[in-house]
């Protein structure tokens, strides 16, 4: 059994669960798992020096799924009706709002949003996973907040200048 076979047998279910949670489609999640492990087969050197295979696969899966979400709709506008989740919003409602927002965010902001708001990770956990400082995580979350809301907390228009209306 090759190393990649072992990684797939031991961790494939983690990748599938993560992809399923982010993409909300069994077919897309299965495709994502296939793409991720095909990438490993084509470039096995990616595993060199990896200390925690689970953490690495978790990050690669998150990145891959966020890219799929962005590709699905492109960088259009954030939905004007999207409101921050209320404290009593159900987890399903919150996840639906977060997924909608993620389709329009630049990659680093999308990753931090998923780790913090969906997975409930602390700044320290996110910093460890991303390989950055706790302060950088705070900075990214502040950018996320600034990019998605105005002074009263409501969602604003486009994040990118090319999306502004003339």
What is the reported pTM? Answer: 0.55
Query: CA 119, 125, 131: angle at the middle one, nearest 5?
Result: 115
Say which CATH class 76-166 falls into.
mainly alpha
In the predicted model, is pLDDT for residue 76 greater than 60? no
Q: Left, alpha or beta for 156 (phi > 0: left; psi -120 to 50: alpha)?
A: beta
Highest mean pLDDT among 70-74, 88-92, 95-99, 136-140: 136-140
Tens digit of pLDDT for each residue in 17-44?
999 998 888 999 999 999 999 999 999 8
- The domain spans of the chain are 1-73, 76-166
Which CATH number, 1.10.3470, 1.20.1290, 1.10.1740, 3.40.720, labels domain 1-73? 1.10.1740
């Amino acid at each position: 059994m090759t190393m990649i076979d072992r990684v797939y047998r031991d961790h494939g279910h983690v990748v599938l669960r993560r992809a399923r949670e982010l993409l909300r489609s069994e077919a897309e999640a299965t495709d994502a798992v296939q793409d991720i492990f095909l990438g490993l087969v084509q470039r096995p050197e990616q595993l060199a020096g990896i200390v925690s295979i689970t953490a690495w696969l978790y990050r690669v899966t998150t990145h891959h799924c966020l890219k799929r979400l962005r590709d699905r709709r492109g960088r259009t506008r954030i939905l004007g009706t999207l409101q921050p989740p209320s404290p009593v919003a159900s987890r399903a409602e919150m996840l639906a709002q977060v997924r909608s927002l993620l389709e329009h965010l630049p990659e680093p902001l999308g990753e931090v949003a998923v780790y913090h708001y969906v997975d409930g990770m602390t700044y320290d956990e996110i910093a460890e996973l991303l390989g950055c400082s706790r302060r950088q995580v705070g900075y990214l979350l502040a950018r996320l907040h600034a990019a998605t809301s105005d002074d009263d907390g409501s969602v604003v228009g486009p994040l990118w200048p090319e999306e502004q209306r003339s």
